[in-house]
Structure 1
Amino acid sequence: MAGVDREITLRFLAEPADVNFGGKVHGGAVMKWIDLAAYAGAAGWSGKYCITVYAGGIRFVKPIHVGNIVEVSAKVIYTGTSSMHLGIDVKAGDPKEPERHLTTHCIVIMVAVDDDGKPTSVPEWIPETEDDIRLRDSALRLMDMRKRIGAEMEAHVKPAL
């Protein structure tokens, strides 16, 4: 049911096929997992098909090793008319131990779309706790920063006349 579950965690084992030349899990594999969790979280919140429109602030804090249990958590931290901002945490550790360490964190923005691929409305998420308000306010500040960065980037995209 839409507008009920704002958080989801995907769990799996890091496989040998996920390894990079340095022997750790490849950053691209982690980014794929982030996108999967963001989709599952956004689709679960909205009850609709969703597309990724932004992934940013990706911080690779610690490496993930082959054989680690990986937990990718997505949590809705802000909703617009058709968009959902999700905070993503990736944690990993030895499956024989209960402890998981933060390895990666980022923000992903998903947009719900209808059958024609047009943005469609999502249920509003209203923060209730102090932590939820802090997360929502952070999402709003990041939106403002992205607008300013986007304006700066125009100089790199458009040739000077």
Structure 2
Amino acid sequence: MKKIEIKTSATVYKDISALSTEDKILMNKAIEARNNAYAPYSKFSVGAALLLENNKIVLGNNQENAAYPSGMCAERVAIWKASSEYPNFKILKLAISASSSVTKVNKPVGPCGACRQSLYEYEFKQNQPFKILFMGEVGEIVKTESLKALLPFSFDSSYL
């Protein structure tokens, strides 16, 4: 038997004021997108903002449906929109923000498992990692250098 050790790292910022100007702008765009989410069932709104290499920012938010699980997460809405509208431009960064109309979300909310796999597909496709920042409604923000920090045993087309 062989045992391996997986190490990952992230930077944690105390709040949005601690971010660089570029990261603040992107996170504020994610918050803007979050505020337009359609989440009447879960009451949990998520916004995502992607910065592309052409300096375009593409927004997405979660879209729910009474026929669960027909809704879609903010991250996948944003990444598919970016791929559809700007297929030849690489993603540089992704910012995510989540809030609830039931309780204050005061800790970072990372992408769900399905979103991590979907996001990794695009990181693999562009053969270049992109930074990911995520937060709740207020408080700390986590920043990783790559999706692999969140999904170390990733699955990609090289297995097919």
TM-score scaled by length of structure 2: 0.31
More strand by share: 1
Structure (1 or 2) with the larger CA radius of gyration: 1
TM-score scaled by length of structure 1: 0.31
